[in-house]
Amino acid sequence: MTDPLARGDKMPETPVGPFDAAAVAAYAAASGDDNPLHLDLALAARVGFAAPPVHGMRLMAEIAPALAAWRPDMALKRLSGTFVEPLLTGEAAILSGRVLRVDGEALVRISIQGPRRGPSLLAEAVLVPKEGA
Amino acid sequence: MRAERSHRPGEIVLGPFEVATGAGEISAFAAAIGAPANPIPATFPIAWLSAPALKAALREAVGPDFLPVHESQSFDYVRPLVPGAALRLTAVARRESAPERLVVEAEATELSGAPALIMRAALRLVPLAGEEGA
């Protein structure tokens, strides 16, 4: 029996990436998001990036599996996030998270932090106990 | 695909249209994110915004002088997503200025009209004009 989530509980830190150009292209194909910003080196350079940034949604895709591995007794009710800083192709990041509030639902603040000052993704997840859990 | 102006200025309503919930699309998406296909990946519905007709309409709303950069995204899961479910998506796209932005709010409903999922995407629009040769 798992203890209920409590304020301050931390997710285990998980490595995210690095993603190479092939991984970014595979995500573009599967998601349909073929924005050339993520695929075209010259265009990325034109808007000031040393390498094409990884899709923000590719980073957000790391969250639900990490939450499920951490708390398989909880279901995801809401997931939201802001893509603060880019994570460029070839850069590694770390996913971490902490429970901010519990009131029946649990609000978890999650960050995916790359090499820049700000996080590449600052997200919030609302978890609810799975039915029958 | 219907694309019509709503009563609010600068807002376009797209759909409703059927979205892909087939096992093939789901497993391709899951493979690309290195995650299991069951349960359906939580972010899989983002692919619905890239359905050809919707993508073309959004591209038109962005216009040729801007590069869209995904700024924020949310998903509200009203009902569990099930492979093969018949869902219809209606999206409302709203153009904002200062800063230039396109906000897309989309709701997937069951055929009964009951909501299954609500998502919201905010795209920052980076001007491309004037950067030629930079």
For the stretch A105-117, pLDDT in tens is: 999 999 999 999 9
Mean pLDDT confidence for A34-42: 93
Does B67 touch chain A if contact means CB atoms closer than 8 Å?
Answer: yes
Class (C level, CATH) for B3-127: alpha beta
* Chain A residues close to B54, C-beta within 8 Å: none
ipTM of the complex: 0.96
Nearest CB to B42 within list A35, A55, A79: A79
For chain A, the structural domain boundaries read: 14-19+53-129
pLDDT tens-place string over residues B43-82: 999 999 999 889 999 999 999 999 999 999 999 999 999 9
Contact A32 B126 (CB under 8 A): no
Query: Who contacts A63 (Cβ-Cβ below 8 Å, separation ≥6)?
Result: A79, A81, A95, A110, A112, A123, A125, B42
Contact B43 A32 (CB under 8 A): no
Distance from the Cα of A43 to chain B's closest Cα (Å) equals 10
* Chain B residues close to A26, C-beta within 8 Å: 31-32
Contact B28 A65 (CB under 8 A): no
For chain B, the structural domain boundaries read: 3-127
| Amino acid type, B117 | L
Q: Determine whether domain A14-19+53-129 maps to CATH 3.10.129.10.
A: yes
Strand order in the sheet with B3-5: A14-16, A93-103, A105-113, A121-129, A74-82, B66-77, B115-127, B101-110, B87-96, B11-18, B3-5
What pLDDT was estimated at residue A98? 98
Nearest CB to A56 within list B51, B70, B134: B70
